[in-house]
Amino acid sequence: MCLERGVEWEDTFPLRSKTGEYRWFLSRAFPIRDTNGRITRWFGTNTDITEHKNFETELERQVADRTAELRATNEQLEAFVYSIAHDLRAPLRSMLGYSQLLLDDHAATLEESAQQMLKRIQASSGFMDRLLLDLLAFGRTARAEVELGPVEVQKAWEAALFQCATEVDQRQAQVETVSPLPRVLAHEATLAQCLANLLSNSLKFVAPGVRPSIRFRAEDRGSWVRLWLEDNGIGIPSRFHEKVFRVFERLQGARYPGTGIGLSIVRKGAERMGGRVGLESDAGKGSRFWIELEAADPSRDRG
C-alpha cells in the first residue's frame, strides 16, 4: 500500500537459504520523482540484519529470565517477611502482657522511674506489634489469590468507612462521597483495604486543631477509572511523592504515629489488581491520592 501511495516503505522479514538457514533482512524502498513530482522509478535496498536480530532475541530472553528471577526472589522475600512477622508476634504479646501485669499488680511498690521504664517497654512493644500487623497485611496483599471481577466501588468504599469509623468519629472528620460511583475490575476486599488505608492516612496527617475534611470521588477516563481521595492535611512535598509508597518510609515519624507500611499496601494492592497509584500534593496544601483501575463498564461501550 505504501508503494501505491508513493511513500517510503520499510519492513523486516526472514528468508530461507538453500541450506535451510533463515536470515533476517531489512528492506527499504523510496520513490524517485521527476520535476513534476511523478514517480519514475523506485530505489530499494536489502540489508542482512541477522546478527542484529539474533542479538535482540538473546537480549529479550535474558531480560525475561532476569525478570522471572527477580519476581521469584521478591516473592520469596515477601513470604519470608510474612513468616517472620507472624512468628514474632507471640513473644511480643508476652512482653506486652507481662509488662501490663507488673503495672497493674505492683505499681504501688515500684519507683516512678521503674514505672516509666515499664511504660516505655509497653509503648515500644505496642508500636512493634502494629508494625508486625502491618507487615502481615502487606504479606497477605502480596501473596493472596486475587481474582478480578466487576466490583461496585460504592460497596468497597462503605467497607473502608466501616473499618475507619472509630477514627472518623474520634476526629469528628467530615467525609464527603461524590455519587454515583462506578464499577471497576478489581478484588473487592483488596480494594476496600486500599481505600481504608488511604482514608486512615488522610485522617491522621492533619495539622493540630484542624478538623479533617475528606472527599472521595471517581473520574471516568474511558477504559479506566481513577478513584480520588482528597484531604485538607499537611500535604507532601513533590520530592517525596514516590518515596511515600515505599515500605517503612515515615516522613513525619516524630510528629505522627504510623509504621510506614500503609501506603505500600495501597500500591501493592493496586498492582495486584492491574492498576496503579499516585498523588498530587504539596506541603501545607493537602493531598489528592488516586488509584486507577480498569473500568468494568468502559465509557466507550456505553453508547
Give the 3-state DSSP-derived string for 147-179, with helices as H, strands as E and coil as C: CCEEEEHHHHHHHHHHHCHHHHHHCCCEEEECC
CATH number of 2-48: 3.30.450.20
pLDDT at 302 over 50: no
pLDDT of residue 258: 52
- Sorted by where each begins, the domain ranges of the chain are 2-48, 54-143, 149-301
Domain 54-143 in this protein, CATH class: mainly alpha
pLDDT per residue over 64-87, tens digit each? 888 788 777 766 666 666 666 667
Q: CATH number of the domain at 149-301, out of 3.30.450.20, 3.40.50.720, 3.40.190.10, 3.30.565.10? A: 3.30.565.10
pLDDT per residue over 118-138, tens digit each? 888 877 777 677 677 766 766
User: Higher pLDDT residue, 231 or 120?
Assistant: 231
Q: How far apart are CA 140 and CA 85, in angstroms?
A: 11
Q: Are 214 and 231 in contact (CB under 8 A)?
A: yes
Q: In the predicted model, what is the mean pLDDT of residues 209-220? A: 93
Q: How far apart are CA 300 and CA 40, in angstroms?
A: 46
Q: Which residue has the cell 520499510?
A: 10
